[in-house]
Amino acid sequence: MAVKTTSKTRRLRDLVRRHGSPLAVVSKALLRRQVERFRCALPRVEPFFAVKANSHPEIVKTLAQAGCNFDVASVGEMELVRRLGVKAQRMIFANTIKPAESIASAAKAGLTLMTFDSEYELDKIAAAAPGARVIVRIKVPNVGSMVELSLKFGCDPTDALPLLIKAHKLGLRPTGLSFHVGSQCTRNENYSDALEIAAIILRDAQLKQLPLEILDIGGGFPIRHFDDEPDPFESCAALVSREIDRLFDSNLRIIAEPGRFLVGPAVTLAMRVIGKAIRDNKHWYYLDDGVYGSLSGLIFDHAKYQYKVMRNGRTQLSTLAGPTCDGLDVIARGEEMPELEVGDIVYVENCGAYSTASATWFNGLPPAKVVVLP
């Protein structure tokens, strides 16, 4: 897609001239704006940023300063966040399957709030972190979400209460209930269905004298990738907020683990054309980043991106490919774009989540350099 020269494209061109490419440009202002949007739309929900989405230290620091807490999936993430000055008490260890040594290290550091979804995990937690506060994760519908999580994680909702009772018997503190509707959730009803199920379990727990303090509504909040689509977040959050008010007492603490929503829109990836060819009557452009780098989300995250260029003119169907020697490293096959030249910039907005986080050094090609703007 061709775009007009604007202050945004001029600035991107300057940054690439100064820092080279591929370049991931992080905007702290956009990070803060996402936190503000989250708070505004979900006033009862405390955001715990899912560090896995993007663990760049400046991103973590900015979100910490904006008052976010953190969802960590490993001791590595916990240590990274602690090194940046955040106390373990501001984190949740939200991986339901953890090595026993990690549970012990987390507890030693003061991170005692953790999720689980099986009896085996409870036994490990009871042995490695006696008295820990545990949150049971249930399986909920993930229909229409880009990344399906309910096959791999979450107990059957009918098992939640027996597991919490077992946690109590093991000397742990049954503290809450969690779910994840699937990442980039495009069906708002996944949240309303999950909240209904959660309300029933919380009521049953109360009846069994196990009052729960925390409901963790996970991540999944969607972002926009294409300019011609409506932004899906506010309508999704409005439904969640309404259902929370309808279903839960005002003294229930409600937390969430947004990853994509907080960091996705805050990063633009700029790449350059390093080579071109005509194959089967079609232009192929080879870029300096691809599937093994910052666009790894094409594979791991099932992501779809909008590729923008800084040239106008008659467009033609073109293929974009990454720089490695692997045939899999093809970014997009049917892009309408004007003819590009070697050195041209191709850029992708809303590219901050599950992108640089899973980039590799395959073929000896370094991951994109990151610049952070205020």
Is 316 within 8 Å of 285 (Cβ atoms)? no
* Span of 257-265, 284-292, 331-339, 366-374 interacting with ligand PLP by CB under 6 A: 257-265
* Closest to ligand PLP by CB, 260 or 308: 260
* Closest to ligand PLP by CB, 77 or 243: 77
* Span of 38-46, 75-83, 217-225, 312-320 interacting with ligand PLP by CB under 6 A: 217-225
- Of 94, 255, 345, 357, which lies in the binding site for ligand PLP, with binding defined by CB under 6 A? 94
Between CA 137 and CA 71 the distance in angstroms is 14
* Span of 104-112, 204-212, 255-263, 362-370 interacting with ligand PLP by CB under 6 A: 255-263
Sequential DSSP letters for 34-83:
HHHHHHHH-TTEEEEEEGGG---HHHHHHHHHTT-EEEESSHHHHHHHHH
Asked if 257 interacts with ligand PLP (CB under 6 A), we say: yes
Give residues with Cβ within 8 angstroms of 367, minimum separation 6.
22, 293, 294, 356, 359, 360, 361
Question: How far apart are CB 113 and ligand PLP at their closest, in Å?
Answer: 13
DSSP helix/strand/coil, 282: strand
Question: How far apart are CB 185 and ligand PLP at their closest, in Å?
Answer: 7
Query: Which segments of the chain are extended strands (E)?
Result: 23-27, 45-50, 69-72, 91-93, 113-116, 133-137, 145-147, 173-178, 183-185, 214-216, 253-256, 267-279, 282-287, 307-309, 315-321, 330-338, 345-348, 369-373
Is 31 within 8 Å of 266 (Cβ atoms)? yes
Between CA 83 and CA 65 the distance in angstroms is 14
Between CA 22 and CA 231 the distance in angstroms is 27
* Closest to ligand PLP by CB, 68 or 309: 68
* Chain residues 338-357 in contact with ligand PLP, contact rule CB under 6 A: 353
Question: How far apart are CB 94 and ligand PLP at their closest, in Å?
Answer: 4
DSSP helix/strand/coil, 272: strand
- Of 141, 157, 258, 322, which lies in the binding site for ligand PLP, with binding defined by CB under 6 A? 258
* Closest to ligand PLP by CB, 35 or 321: 35
Torsion-angle region of residue 184: left (phi > 0), alpha (psi -120 to 50) or beta? left
Q: Which residue is at the shortest CB distance from ligand PLP?
A: 219
What residues pair up with 372 in beta bridges, in sequence order? 26
Question: How far apart are CB 134 and ligand PLP at their closest, in Å?
Answer: 15
- Of 27, 54, 105, 183, which lies in the binding site for ligand PLP, with binding defined by CB under 6 A? 183
Select which of 68, 155, 185, 325 is catalytic. 325
* Chain residues 130-169 in contact with ligand PLP, contact rule CB under 6 A: 149
The count of chain residues that interact with ligand PLP, using the rule CB under 6 A, is 17
Task: Work out the end-to-end distance of the chain between its first and last CA atoms, rounded to an integer number of angstroms.
Answer: 28
* Closest to ligand PLP by CB, 14 or 234: 234
Question: How far apart are CB 330 and ligand PLP at their closest, in Å?
Answer: 25
Question: How far apart are CB 75 and ligand PLP at their closest, in Å?
Answer: 16
Asked if 77 interacts with ligand PLP (CB under 6 A), we say: no
Q: With the CA atoms of 145, 148, 153 and 158 taken in that order, what torsion angle do they form, in degrees rounded to the nearest 10?
A: 50
* DSSP assignment letter at 130: T
* Chain residues 27-66 in contact with ligand PLP, contact rule CB under 6 A: 50, 53
Q: Which two tokens stand for residue 192?
A: 């309303």
325 is catalytic: yes
Give contact residues for ligand PLP (rule: CB under 6 A). Answer: 50, 53, 71, 94, 149, 180, 183, 218-221, 257-261, 353
Active site residues: 325
